[in-house]
Structure 1
Amino acid sequence: MLEKINGRGAIIGSLFIALILAIIPLPPLADLLRPDWVLVCVFYWTIALPHRSNVGVAFAVGLILDILLGSTLGVRALALSIVSYIAASNFTRLRNFSVWQQALVVGALTGLAKVVVFWAEYLVQDIQLPAGYFYPLVTTTLTWPWIFLLLRKLRRQWKIS
């Protein structure tokens, strides 16, 4: 019973830290280059433990992120749900990729999520595409190997399954 609590706590704790990193105030240039921490965390837990972290978890975390960012409710929840669905339906294949191949997949899914968020916001608010909107694709792709190694070490050290 304690292992399940530790496992759930580790997943929730890492998602909480990712939410904190997503909303922490940064200077304008650093904010423009901020990786999509929540997407990376959701992606990792979905391919590592698809029976514990699934589309429902991604939707709930997305709703929390929408509330924290003050954006249209459900926009990021939709984007994270799509990413989680793609990751969950291909988790066996994605597990066999090298870390750098996974980084390219994470970059592509980040691009998909950014397009979904922009499209949904455009439908609701008629916004324009800001300069540098897709810069987080590069930083998210480059941070994936370190996040992957960190979360895998956490999962193995605490024997989360």
Structure 2
Amino acid sequence: MRPRHYVIALSIMVALVLQIVPLPSQADTYRPDWVLVVLAYWTMALPHRVNVGVAFISGIALDILLGTPLGVHSLVLCFCVYILAANYQRLRNYSVWQQCVIIGLLSAFYHLLSFWLLHLLNDIFFLYEYMLPVVTSMAIWPWVFWLLRKLRRQLKIV
């Protein structure tokens, strides 16, 4: 098989690694949602290949890697990818900067829903630091978008 058949899976694996790579405690609160951003790109670019099932499997892997209760991230990622897949034709027509706002709203939804689920399961309390990755997820979106789009076009992934 050609390497282009593995690009989507490899990019999701790289996002999973970036999600768990150790960072200093000051920088860790700003860690972007790498898995959400990569899944968002592939869902908008190729909704027939990356869908809710891929989000579920990625979420289960993220739950295992982060040690959260099994199913929390998978449920939240499934909701986010479903929203993107239902509106991908509209979202593709937005500029990258408008998509940054959409990614920010999606990331805020991701964090609020995962907090709510973890609050029900573990009785944690809300801190404003939970929402700081929204800003960095918005900031990395243009670079992730351009990198993955260049990769997709060069390898002719359809």
Shorter-chain TM-score range: over 0.9
Q: Are residue 21 (structure 1) and residue 6 (structure 2) matched?
A: no
Superposed displacement of residue 131, structure 1: 4.1
The two structures, once aligned, show a CA RMSD in angstroms of 0.9
Misfit runs of 4+, over 2 Å: 5-8
Q: Are residue 141 (structure 1) and residue 138 (structure 2) matched?
A: yes
Give the partner amino acid of 1:107: G
Partner residue of 1:104? Answer: 101
Q: Are residue 65 (structure 1) and residue 62 (structure 2) matched?
A: yes
Superposed displacement of residue 8, structure 1: 3.5
Partner residue of 2:9? Answer: 12
Superposed displacement of residue 10, structure 1: 0.2
Report the CA distance shift for 1:8/1:94 in structure 2 as closer, same or farther (over 3 A).
Answer: same
Identify which of 35, 39, 43 aligns with 1:38: 35
Partner residue of 2:89? Answer: 92
Superposed displacement of residue 129, structure 1: 1.4
What TM-score do the two structures reach when normalised by structure 1?
A: 0.96
Partner residue of 2:52? Answer: 55
Give the partner amino acid of 1:112: F
- Structure 1 unaligned residues grouped into runs of 5+: none
| Matches of 2:152 and 2:76, distance apart in 1 | 25
What TM-score do the two structures reach when normalised by structure 2?
A: 0.97
Superposed displacement of residue 61, structure 1: 0.1
| Matches of 2:5 and 2:133, distance apart in 1 | 28
Determine helix, strand or coil for the equivalent of 1:134: helix
Superposed displacement of residue 20, structure 1: 0.3
Partner residue of 2:120? Answer: 123
- Structure 2 unaligned residues grouped into runs of 5+: none
